[in-house]
Amino acid sequence: MNRIVPFSILAVCAVLLVLGISLPIMRFEQLYFFSNEPSLLQLIGELWSDGSVVLAIAVGAFSLVFPAAKLIVLAAEVVAGDGRSGFLQRAMPHLARWSMMDVMLVAIVIFAAKTSGVATAVTLPGFWCYAASAVIAAIFPSVVKLGKTDRQSENG
């Protein structure tokens, strides 16, 4: 597999992650008069300023640090090529396990808001960009492995 293709996919994934973090992820409408459209960064900032420091750090780790680390490790894996280091092989399953956590948390918050009757919650483009980035990053290692397998069968 040409290295341009994996790096292009990773670039799209990184752009989607940045958009998912910075664009509004959901709209909460209360009493038809008040609405709030926070981005993920704003949610983390509000948690921090409200004194929920541990929760802000947890959400920041699961929604910012782990997905970014996964993209960095994926890029390192592409650069390493067929001679993957042991660290990359050990790190990927752990990063993959946690990278979808925030998508699940946002989906649960939206479900809770809809079923409680307190507010109406609607997903916005930030959520879908974030989810697309997580899905692409989850599928990407399989695509790279398939490309390596095809190349090895052609050479062998």
Query: What pLDDT digit, counting tens, does each position of 128-150 carry?
Result: 998 898 888 888 877 766 455 44
- What tens digit of pLDDT does each residue of 71-125 get? 888 888 777 765 555 666 677 666 666 666 666 766 666 666 666 666 677 788 9
Task: For 49, list phi and psi in degrees, rounded to 5.
Answer: -70, -25
Note the pTM of the prediction, 2 decimals.
0.76
Whether residue 119 contacts residue 113, with contact meaning beta carbons closer than 8 Å, is answered with: yes
- What tens digit of pLDDT does each residue of 1-45 get? 577 888 888 899 999 999 999 999 888 777 666 667 888 888 888
Map residue 24 onto helix, strand or coil. strand
- The neighbouring-strand residues paired with 24 are 39
Whether residue 141 contacts residue 6, with contact meaning beta carbons closer than 8 Å, is answered with: no
Map residue 30 onto helix, strand or coil. strand
Output the CA angle 61-68-8, nearest 5 degrees.
160
